[in-house]
Amino acid sequence: MSGPLHDIVVVDLSRALAGPHAAMMLGDMGARVIKVETPGTGDDTRGWGPPFVGPEDDPISTYYLAANRNKESITLDLKSDDGRDVLTRLVQRADVLVENFRPGVMDRLGFGNDALHELNPRLVVLSISGFGHDGPQGGRAGYDQIAQGEAGLMSLTGSTPEDPQRVGVPIGDLLAGMYGAYGVVSALHERTTTGKGRVVRTSLLGAIVASHALHGTAYTVAGHVGHAQGNHHPSIAPYGLFHCMDGDVQVACGAESLWVKLAEGFGIDPATPGMVTNRERMANRDRVTATLNKAFATWRLDDLLPRLAELGIPSGEVRTLDRVYDWDQTRSQGLVLDVDHPVLGSIEIPGPPIRLDDNTFAGGRETHQAPPTLGQHNDSVRAWLAEEDPA
């Protein structure tokens, strides 16, 4: 093992996406992550698709592959004596436990927070819920799209206020996983001083609300309720998607000097009444957008992007995913990993976005493991527990 968390053992009881994503982030930094799955079926996402790959009689979900790299898989029936015994021994040896059951389920299984800390006072517990662990709706099930709607994100996303849209990825799950992993490493650092673990809680609701950014303070401070505005920034103009002869281009003028360069570079007077300052341009955004669309209409994308770069204007195209993963810049950042899967063989999967210092590998470890097959590490994990068991 390598990486800053190489001496940390994580027991991952979670399924679907938020908890598995948090545990995967810890694994990317070198932690040993042991994923506990239900015998026969495993994580719910093993059945989510299409697309599926591999043998027709036992297909593998690409959804599952997205959230479970750098983990081992052991199957346990937590309602059986054997399952509870193995989990008990895992808890006693672990540094972190991740779970995203509905509030109360862990208590019914006999592994509530008090019981966990009785077994291991140093254990850091990450508990992720849909809408929080208490409050009037604390027991609600957490599904990403429902949380996106309830937490206001869909009202900010779409072409108009009458066209609410979910974000194209399960962003509530992903954000909850990220905030959860952040909470875990904070608690691990605290443990070096106190010698004790603690319970870290987050939720899909909390993660999305915490990500409202400018929209949050616009309401809490100014009483302004934001709404969907399509592909243009709610506070800066021009900043958004524009059209050229054969495609779309995105332009971000985050400073007045950039507006002057952009306008002069395409034959527009930057001092045109109604366009001089950002506040004026926001008040006349439709006019600004129409002016730029007209200026770009005679340009092909392959010529327009170099021209914008020459002017020093932040800009870019809108890539499909195939063009993202085939892009040399993506690959230069270690964002595509080559791993050996026990069934699929050599495959490419998305990689972690963090690089430490100037290393040439992604994440905090030199090598990465493919997401495991169901129960792939049953024997090795049990053997490790037997070796470590003082009895």
Residue range 9-211+330-388 in CATH 3.40.50.10540: yes
Task: Enter the tokens of residue 39.
Answer: 């015998």
SS (HEC) of 249-272: EEEECCCHHHHHHHHHHCCCCCCC
Q: State how beta strands 32-37 and 72-75 pair.
A: parallel
Q: CA torsion sign, 339 to 340 to 341 to 343?
A: positive
Q: Model confidence at 380, in pLDDT bands (50, 70, 90)?
A: very high
Mean pLDDT score of the chain? 95
CATH homologous superfamily of 239-319 equals formyl-coa transferase, domain 3 (3.30.1540.10)
Q: Is 95 a catalytic residue?
A: no
Does residue 390 have a pLDDT over 70? no
Q: What is the pLDDT of residues 137-164, one digit of tens each?
A: 998 888 999 999 999 999 999 999 999 9
The predicted structure's pLDDT at residue 283: 97
Does residue 391 have a pLDDT over 90? no
Q: 9-211+330-388 and 239-319: same fold?
A: no
Q: Which residues pair with 74 in a beta bridge?
A: 36
Q: What is the pLDDT of residues 161-216, one digit of tens each?
A: 999 999 999 999 999 999 999 999 999 999 999 999 999 999 999 999 999 999 99
Which of 12, 28, 144, 173 is the catalytic position? 173
Average of per-residue pLDDT across 347-365: 82
What number of residues does the chain have? 391
Q: Model confidence at 363, in pLDDT bands (50, 70, 90)?
A: confident
Q: State how beta strands 96-99 and 9-12 pair.
A: parallel
Q: What is the pLDDT of residues 226-264, one digit of tens each?
A: 999 899 999 999 999 999 999 999 999 999 999 999 999
Cβ burial of 26 (10 Å; 0-12, 13-18, 19+) is buried
Element (H, E) at 386: helix 378-388
Domain boundaries, the chain: 9-211+330-388, 239-319
| Cα separations in angstroms, 299 against 191, 245, 253, 303, 314 | 59, 6, 19, 7, 17
